[in-house]
């Protein structure tokens, strides 16, 4: 293992690259699961895509000094902070990327926008509609000042879902009749799994609803190209008491300490609904579907065709062209790895699939472009707020014996 | 094509067979789609299974004399009737098999039971709860007299669903958390498809709900081994006016005549619910799922395992054993064609699959056994009534803005 | 259980039907697995399809008088014979259906043709090329006299394979590049499985080659629409000694007696080859593919498209249309249950699948039509002979260290 | 876009990290498809895994100065070289990573080993057995001096294939009977696709055989845990003349210039073989399988179980446990995303899949570990040589009319 010695005549390329393009200096708050995923996104986006500016992993922030330092080393952030207010106060930060639990989203995002930063905020946008309204309002005002605010519904950035959206937008489904969506996981099946922050209402806002339900509500509305008009819901907490966790956890894995505590969020949420066009929708979010690990499945049926997607097979999109002769029609499995497909011209040859983390690379790419072009990011905080309103209607309906509850506009 | 000449010394086997076993003489009312399917069942059951009595296709009944005669010739019934009352009056009929639309089930079944016949009645048992109550009451009284009455939920007789039931009953799923069921077809997507009897409330009772929904409610409760406690529902009629049909139709295909009429049933029904154990359920029945032809799909998630079935691949059952080590666990595709599997020891070697119509062969087999043994048939008219109550609660909830509606006990 | 009493005024339909159409009186030799399957075919064909003549299950023949009588009762044959020569001598038999092991095919078929009967002979046509040549010659001569001879490659009668053939014939694949076929079973994996007739060369002719290989050679050539020009082969017998069987067996299941015997056939056969057009082919037939029950899988790749079929999912055909835009192309799963599909207009609504035995119903249907129209049946004995020549070339190549061996024309 | 200003009190983490661990300075030759993939591997490995040393992307080398500079910028290499000899001469390079076409592998690798560098060489190891022998010899000698040499069969690093290997090694398949492997692509189906370097024998050595066949021979032997003993082969060039390419190409996409040239490599290679244990193998490598994009599929059947893998669904492994009761047995789909699975504890929660490029991250990880521990890398140049001998035997057999050809030991 030699010591680096720059030999004469060898041009230092990194310096030169930096001089050509402006940089976009990112400060990230939070360093657990989402922090790791966002780090991959920021590190890779400029290496794969031609970006108008170069993301720089400037600073990472967390309360535990040694833990955040370790995260910085691991993920390659240039510096650390232990107070998000200090991070926001830094002049050398252009964009604040919020990867904390939902209870702190509003405060951090509002402060960052006030400080003139662009913001990327993990989903769900907030734990309450009121917070989300404040955030959307602040984002709109900031946009007038040239700042952008995006919410991290990364599943819009799977090439297959992006392709699906473009096919719906091109009219390939015709009048929409049905959208059915499930997001099935199984990490709470074991009643001895401990009470992580994701199971406590004061931190997580809600359970499967805010975590999984937020994703599928956003994805369903995004793919349908229209909002839900109302919902009818059932929620349930199957295991109401769980062991207290023994140490820090990222929510999906944890060790128990001793004693037990109350689960104060939903384990599962089922809801039906109507889109504004009259299409029907069915949703299920659960962490108790034994054997299903990340089964975000969505199917859309329209008068002219259907589409189906399963996150466990994220390089594929199923498409039925209802205008084909019946004798040769069928759901086709599009392997979404062609250069013609969204994001794919920058990646590998056909058939060489992508993975989960690539959604964060694409998210970073799309945000960098939006910032450079001054375009509203998609999804915006307003979109995040609208999802929040759907989730609130779900909770309201569940409390009112499943009564159909309109979504506030 | 020679004329039959019985050569000397050749024993006529059919005469001998008849003498050894009692026969069970069947009279069937109706001869459309279900009539054809039931005919296959009666013709084949005794050829494949060792039955305690021999089903004889004694008489087929329909209002149109020439059509019923053609059906008799085609399907191999010994005689015809044009009035079901005449059929029931015949002394040589042991069992009346009712394959008519739902509006006539109650009247025929009640008369047949009163006349001392066993009864097999297609699903849904009736068009109203009141009719179904009368039928269940009459069936119970008849049972005291030694007569049996079964309702034709044939999807319990798919080897894969029967295997699933036995696995649930053996505790392989543990505490049940979720049951999700869809029955997706697409034959109404075309708004020019004519207004067949299945789209008229006065004949069919309801639309996708009674046709498809009845199947999935029964199958879900059968597999779960427990009844639903309540439901919350949405229903919709996407295409409210359709061309009038031009001639006789079997419901799934038809030619248009001229003029249009109102569709008076639901095109789609979505409902969620709770089982008595607290498990959650999700149901969707529709005829507008473009590209889905017969997608009755059911998945059950329990604390110890999961099962999944798709009628479009009816020789398969997916099973996840949640007690396996995570490193080697996964949904396995059981090819349900082994001699150890339900019904299969009488059929073909492993891997040589069965089809849709075999469910009717199995239904005939099971009913013949139940009659011989004096056992209550499964599913009974009481089971059919209970399904009817669920469907009624679905309709009530749909009318009450999806309000959660308990199932009457 | 009433005694049958024909009530006055009820017309006996079966008598009338017989008078309208000529009958085709069938005499079947053999009553094991294939006998049961053919019985289902003859019993059902006239009930589902409009046939120009009515198949009558006139006589079944086997050496064991009580066993053949039981088979006649079970399957519904009118009479029995214990000597196939007596069967052939009967004036009231129009067609002889040969379901015996391969070593007796030639003798029975030649005698039946000489006696003026039509013949349906199970595959493989014979145990040697020489026998098959005699049979093909005799069939050709008989055809001049108005008799038909068909070989029972029933897998041509799966709706999905018939659809595949029509798509290839219509040019949807363009110039053919690859055909890859496997027929994988696993019933010999257990070394304690006994030495049934299928494992003895003097009875079966060969092992997996003649049993499974014959099917896939025929199907590959049928779908490709052209013959193989030559092959290179490896064969293997993994377990060379097995327990002697304890009693009668149908070949796929058996009980052991005591003592062991030599396995004198191949357990597995692998071969590659060239079609006359230059397309490449790959074949594998084995009874040692643990977990594969009946995995006859074939894929064809052409310049314009591809097709794939798996017998374990026999209601499906996968089709890739290579002329589609890459962005929306993919293998589509055609559910081959539409009325537009081969054989399907006589069966059930879309999505209501068929099973293995339906291939025998379709075989009976096609043969009855061919006889009525005087058309050469497809596949003919000449086709069976050609398959036999391929199998002989496979064995020759395997003996010559896999040397590429041309197929005799 | 702010200018970077390190705020007071913020610790520069990258400097500190470098001081703690030794670095491993990599110099890469080649910057096309493989260069991009290896770059992702080197950039990411140390960010995800705890490595004993830190890979540094020190230098990238290519003949075209401006192109290599662009590649350095894009992929993040610190410096560039235009002569691989200069790269090898640099003191600050610890490891040479060879991503050039096969004709230059031997020369570069031998020089790098002679210069005291570790070497990672893309597959196939060389274009001839002779070259590969020299390389394996040099690697063995270098190993004595503490240098490591690995060949880049990255498909061993898919978590699913690594899991498969561990399951075979643990005896879960028992005595091996069958290995069947295909590697199907379709990028040459269009006869107008131009004559890239991959289609010229003098550069690529062979066609589908060296490109795809090398992968599947290595993977089959790796998973089986034993070498092939001999092969029988057919090869074919379907399109013998193609347009000349118009510019630089990475082999899988290209633009045509004008004029045509001869294709001097195989388009497809089919071969059967025997493993030393007597298990049978079947291989097919082709670029003409319309609709198959990257279908590297391998199935192993053993006396106790079976495994199957498809690179187009690389997060899954199918496993049949032949010791299970038949009633509940079936191929299970293991979603290979659990922390218990190879490489996965460093990545995402269950169900959040990886992609193609992760194999290069894992390759980098494994090589860094091997170097730190002084372990022979796996696969070694000796393994690469052995694959080369199999490929040579395939070509020899194809030339000798498919005669079975033993593999030189």
φ, ψ for residue A127 (rounded to 5)? Answer: -90, -15
Test mutation, D3, D5, D7, D69, chain A, max A CBs within 10 A: D7
Residue B15 has pLDDT above 60, yes or no: no
Q: For chain C, how far is it from start to end, CA to CA, in angstroms?
A: 62
- Look at C180 and D182 and tell me if their CB atoms are within 8 Å: yes
Which of these, D39, D75, D2, lies nearest to A13 by C-alpha position? Answer: D75
Residue C14 has pLDDT above 60, yes or no: no
pLDDT of amino acid A20? 74
Q: Which CATH architecture has domain D157-355+377-406?
A: 2-Layer Sandwich (3.30)
Q: Are the CB atoms for D235 and D264 separated by under 8 Å?
A: no
Mean pLDDT taken over chain A: 93
Q: List strands edge to edge, sheet with B149-152.
A: B79-81, B54-61, B23-29, B95-98, B118-122, B149-152
Q: Which residues of D touch B335 (CB under 8 A)?
A: 330
Instruction: Report the distance separating Cα C322 and Cα C331, nearest Å.
Output: 9
Q: Which residues of D touch A17 (CB under 8 A)?
A: 73
CB neighbours (10 Å) of residue B192?
8
- Look at C335 and A334 and tell me if their CB atoms are within 8 Å: no
Which of these, C205, C210, C184, lies nearest to C285 by C-alpha position? Answer: C184
pLDDT of amino acid A245? 86
Q: Which of B189, B280, B320 sits opposite A268 (nearest CB)?
A: B280
B19-153 belongs to which homologous superfamily?
NAD(P)-binding Rossmann-like Domain (3.40.50.720)
Which chains are within 8 Å of D by 3+ CB pairs? A, B, C
CA distance B253 to chain A (A): 14
Q: Which residues of A touch D5 (CB under 8 A)?
A: 90-92
pLDDT of amino acid B75? 96
Q: List strands edge to edge, sheet with D54-61.
A: D79-81, D54-61, D23-29, D95-98, D118-122, D149-152
Q: Which residues of A touch C327 (CB under 8 A)?
A: 163, 334, 338, 340-341
* A-B Cβ pairs (cutoff 8 Å, strict): 146
Beta-strand pair D118-122/D95-98: parallel
* A-D Cβ pairs (cutoff 8 Å, strict): 192
In order along its 409 residues, chain D shows pLDDT tens digits of 233 333 333 334 444 444 578 999 999 999 989 999 999 999 999 999 999 999 999 999 999 999 999 999 999 999 999 999 999 999 999 999 999 999 999 999 999 999 999 999 999 999 999 999 999 999 999 999 999 999 999 999 999 999 999 999 999 999 999 999 999 999 999 999 999 989 999 988 899 999 999 999 999 999 999 999 999 999 999 999 999 987 554 445 555 667 999 999 999 999 999 999 999 999 999 999 999 999 999 999 999 999 999 999 999 999 999 999 999 999 999 999 999 999 999 999 999 999 999 999 999 999 999 999 999 999 999 999 999 999 999 999 999 999 999 998 7
pLDDT of amino acid C364? 98
- Look at B289 and A280 and tell me if their CB atoms are within 8 Å: no
User: Model confidence over B140-169: pLDDT tens digits?
Assistant: 999 999 999 999 999 999 999 999 999 999
Q: Are the CB atoms for B338 and D174 separated by under 8 Å?
A: no
Q: Which CATH class is domain C156-355+379-406?
A: alpha beta
Test mutation, A3, A5, A6, A7, chain D, max D CBs within 10 A: A7
Q: How confident is the model at residue A18 (pLDDT cuts 50, 70, 90)?
A: very low
Residue C13 has pLDDT above 90, yes or no: no
- Look at B90 and C7 and tell me if their CB atoms are within 8 Å: yes
φ, ψ for residue C326 (rounded to 5)? Answer: -55, -35
pLDDT of amino acid A7? 34
**How large is the angle between the packed helices A159-169 and A214-224, nearest 10 degrees?**
40
Token digits for C214? 């014959």
- Look at B186 and A301 and tell me if their CB atoms are within 8 Å: yes
In sequence order, which residues have a C-beta less than 8 Å from that of residue D158 and are 6 or more positions away?
Answer: D309, D311, D314, D358, D359
Q: For chain B, how far is it from start to end, CA to CA, in angstroms?
A: 62
- What is the dihedral sign for C-alpha A372, A373, A379, A384? positive
Test mutation, D330, D339, D344, D351, chain B, max B CBs within 10 A: D330
- Look at C352 and B93 and tell me if their CB atoms are within 8 Å: no
- Look at D76 and A14 and tell me if their CB atoms are within 8 Å: yes
Residue owning tokens 């029975």? C108
Test mutation, D181, D290, D294, chain C, max C CBs within 10 A: D290
- Look at C238 and D271 and tell me if their CB atoms are within 8 Å: no
CA distance C353 to chain A (A): 15
Angle (CA) B290 B295 B301, round 5°: 130
Residue A198 has pLDDT above 70, yes or no: yes
| Torsion angle defined by CA atoms of residues C380, C385, C388 and C392, in that order, rounded to the nearest 10 degrees | -160
E strand segments, A139-290? 149-152, 176-184, 228-236, 241-245, 256-262, 268-275, 280-286
* B-C Cβ pairs (cutoff 8 Å, strict): 195
- Look at B5 and C252 and tell me if their CB atoms are within 8 Å: no
Token digits for D248? 């630089």
Q: Which residues of B touch D325 (CB under 8 A)?
A: 340
Q: Which residues of C touch A330 (CB under 8 A)?
A: 319, 332-335
pLDDT of amino acid D8? 34
Instruction: Report the distance separating Cα D371 and Cα D131, nearest Å.
Output: 24
CATH topology of domain D19-155: Rossmann fold (3.40.50)
Cα C347 → chain centroid? 21
CA distance B175 to chain C (A): 30
* β-sheet bridge partners, residue D56: D25
- Look at C340 and A325 and tell me if their CB atoms are within 8 Å: yes
CA distance B332 to chain D (A): 3
Test mutation, A176, A177, A193, chain B, max B CBs within 10 A: A177
User: Model confidence over C367-405: pLDDT tens digits?
Assistant: 999 999 999 999 999 999 999 999 999 999 999 999 999
- The CATH code that applies to domain A156-406 is 3.30.360.10
Which chains are within 8 Å of B by 3+ CB pairs? A, C, D
User: Model confidence over D331-346: pLDDT tens digits?
Assistant: 999 999 999 999 999 9
Q: Are the CB atoms for A194 and A243 separated by under 8 Å?
A: yes
ipTM above 0.90, yes or no: yes
Instruction: Report the distance separating Cα A380 and Cα A275, nearest Å.
Output: 20
Residue C247 has pLDDT above 90, yes or no: no
Residue B222 has pLDDT above 80, yes or no: yes
Nearest CA in chain B to A282: B270
* C-D Cβ pairs (cutoff 8 Å, strict): 145
A377-390 b/e with 16+ CB inside 10 Å = b?
bebbbbbbbbbbbb
Residue owning tokens 């032997």? D221
CB neighbours (10 Å) of residue C250?
16
Q: Which helix (H) or strand (E) holds C44?
A: helix C33-48
- Look at A40 and D40 and tell me if their CB atoms are within 8 Å: no
Q: Where are the alpha helices (DSSP H) in A90-243?
A: 105-114, 129-144, 159-169, 201-204, 208, 214-224
Instruction: Report the distance separating Cα A395 and Cα B289, nearest Å.
Output: 29
Domain ranges of chain D: 19-155, 157-355+377-406
Q: Which CATH architecture has domain A21-154?
A: 3-Layer(aba) Sandwich (3.40)
Test mutation, A13, A14, A78, chain D, max D CBs within 10 A: A13
Q: Are the CB atoms for D71 and D77 separated by under 8 Å?
A: yes
Q: Which of A270, A289, A397 sits opposite B301 (nearest CB)?
A: A289
pLDDT of amino acid D155? 98
Residue A326 has pLDDT above 80, yes or no: yes
Q: Which residues of B touch D340 (CB under 8 A)?
A: 325-327
Residue owning tokens 């049958």? C4
- Look at C319 and A330 and tell me if their CB atoms are within 8 Å: yes
Residue A8 has pLDDT above 60, yes or no: no
E strand segments, C89-224? 95-98, 118-122, 149-152, 176-184
Token digits for C304? 């314009």
Instruction: Report the distance separating Cα D287 and Cα D293, nearest Å.
Output: 9
CB neighbours (10 Å) of residue D141?
12
């Amino acid at each position: 293992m030699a010591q680096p010695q720059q030999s004469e005549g060898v041009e230092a390329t990194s310096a030169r690259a930096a001089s050509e393009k402006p940089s976009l200096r990112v400060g990230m708050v939070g360093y657990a699961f989402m922090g790791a995923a966002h780090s991959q996104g920021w590190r890779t986006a400029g290496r794969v895509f031609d970006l108008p500016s170069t993301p720089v992993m400037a600073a990472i922030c967390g309360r535990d000094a040694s833990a955040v330092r370790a995260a910085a080393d691991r993920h390659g952030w240039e510096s650390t902070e232990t107070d998000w207010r200090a991070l926001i106060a830094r002049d050398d930060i252009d964009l604040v990327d919020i990867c904390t639990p939902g209870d702190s989203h509003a405060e951090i995002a509002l402060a960052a926008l006030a400080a003139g930063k662009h913001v990327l905020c993990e989903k769900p946008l907030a734990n309450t509609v009121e917070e989300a309204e404040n955030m959307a309002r602040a984002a709109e005002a900031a946009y007038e000042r040239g700042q952008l605010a995006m919410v991290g519904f990364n599943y819009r950035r799977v090439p297959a879902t992006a392709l699906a959206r473009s096919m719906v937008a091109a009219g390939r489904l015709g009048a929409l009749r049905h959208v059915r969506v499930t997001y099935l996981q199984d990490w709470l099946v074991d009643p001895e799994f401990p009470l992580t922050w994701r199971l406590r209402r004061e931190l997580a806002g809600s359970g499967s609803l805010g975590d999984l339900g937020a994703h599928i509500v956003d994805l369903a509305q995004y793919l349908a190209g229209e909002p839900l008009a109302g919902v009818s819901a059932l929620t349930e907490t199957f295991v109401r008491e769980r062991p207290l966790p023994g140490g820090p956890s990222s929510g999906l894995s944890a060790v128990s300490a001793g004693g037990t505590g109350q689960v104060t969020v939903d384990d599962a949420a089922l809801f039906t609904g109507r889109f504004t066009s009259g299409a029907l929708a069915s949703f299920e979010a659960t962490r108790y579907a034994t054997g299903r690990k990340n089964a975000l499945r969505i199917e859309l049926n329209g008068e002219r065709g259907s589409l189906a997607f399963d996150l466990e097979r994220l390089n594929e999109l199923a498409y039925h062209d209802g205008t084909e002769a019946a004798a040769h029609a069928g759901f086709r499995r599009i392997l979404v790895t062609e250069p013609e497909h969204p994001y794919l011209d920058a990646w590998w040859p056909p058939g060489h699939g992508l993975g989960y983390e690539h959604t964060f690379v694409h998210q970073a790419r799309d945000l960098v472009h939006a910032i450079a072009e001054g375009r509203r990011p998609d999804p915006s905080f307003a979109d995040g707020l609208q999802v929040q309103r759907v989730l609130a209607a779900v909770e309201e309906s569940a409390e009112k014996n499943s009564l159909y509850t309109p979504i506030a506009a």
